Amino acid sequence: YRIQVLPIGDKFKEFIGVVTLIQDITKLKEIDEMKSDFISTVSHEFRTPLTSMSMGTGLLLEGIPGPLTENQKELVEAMKEDQERLKNLVNDLLDLSRIESGKIEMNIRGNELKKIVEESVKAFEHQAKDKNIELSYCIEENLPLVRADFNKVSWILINLIGNAMRYTPRDGSGKIQIEGKRTGSIVLVSVSDNGIGIPQEYRKKIFEKFVQVKDREGNPTGGTGLGLAICKEIIEAHGGQIWVKSKLGKGSSFYFTLAIEKS
């Protein structure tokens, strides 16, 4: 059952009572599970043909069946790019459906946040240099251990840093900073950039599946629109929260919370 308690007010917006809504959501849950199973099966079935297609294009580009003309090479390269995009989409969909259905086990234990951050930042050292973006991190001294699944939280950071990289200028002014500090009984982690920012109306929605901010021409901006939805699922499985603060044209800061491991 889903129980919702909704406050009600009179015409002067004064609080006058509550309405309690009790809904039987068994059917909804069943449909949701069917949907998850369907997505998981379809994504799985997509993987095998995709792998063989991508092997084929790889061989063509290496010139193994014979040399390609410049025009043919361009065409095969475009095909390879689309295959990569499709592969990412299928992998994201699989991850999401596994997390949603609770099929991915969370290995939540006491971990050093600094180690998780270091590991995630390492994955971007080359990209940051190539794109001329300053990537740095600052983790408070003597931070207690956080309750986290090392690989999953690293996955979140990699996603947030990857997004920040994508939407930050490459003219040498781009900066991305990761911070970790204790606030009360939790640890707050943030990934901030000084990139394009996110319009107000999207700030909540981007954590939903397939939501992408459209660019000026009305096209979605690369990616799959699943990364932040997966981040949210993972953080919620940790009992934490994730949100964003942003100023259009100035940059964005993504925040998430982790619990402290009791010693």
Q: How far is CA 48 from CA 44, 45, 191, in A?
A: 8, 6, 35
Please give the DSSP secondary-structure letter assigned to residue 68: P
Q: Is 92 helix (H, G, I), strand (E, B) or coil?
A: helix
Neighbours of 26 (CB within 10 A): 9
Nearer to ligand ADP, 127 or 221 (CB): 221
Nearest residue (CB) to ligand ADP, 133 versus 229: 229
Six-digit token string for 192:
């901030």
Cβ distance to ligand ADP smaller for residue 137 or 167: 167
- Beta carbon of residue 78, minimum distance to ligand ADP (angstroms, whole number): 20
Nearest distance from C-beta of residue 243 to ligand ADP, angstroms: 12
The rounded distance, in Å, linking the Cα atoms of 44 and 34 is 15
CB 130 to ligand ADP: min, Å: 18
Nearer to ligand ADP (CB atom), residue 225 or residue 240: 225
Pair of tokens at residue 42: 């379809």
Residue pair 176/205 in contact by the 8 Å Cβ criterion? no
Q: Please identify which residue in the block is written with the tokens 């309690």.
A: 20
Token pair for residue 226?
């699943």
Binding interface with ligand ADP (CB under 6 A)? 159, 163-164, 167, 193, 195-196, 198, 206, 212-213, 221, 223-229, 252
Smallest gap from Cβ 203 to ligand ADP, in A, equals: 9
Closest CB to ligand ADP among residues 95, 193: 193
* Residue number, 75 or 237, with CB nearest to ligand ADP: 237
CB of 141 to ligand ADP, least distance (A): 27
**Distance of alpha carbon 173 from alpha carbon 46, whole angstroms:** 41
Give least dist CB 164 to ligand ADP, A: 4
Residues 6+ apart with CB under 8 A from 163: 223, 227, 228, 254
Amino acid at 157: L
* Residue nearest ligand ADP by beta-carbon distance: 223
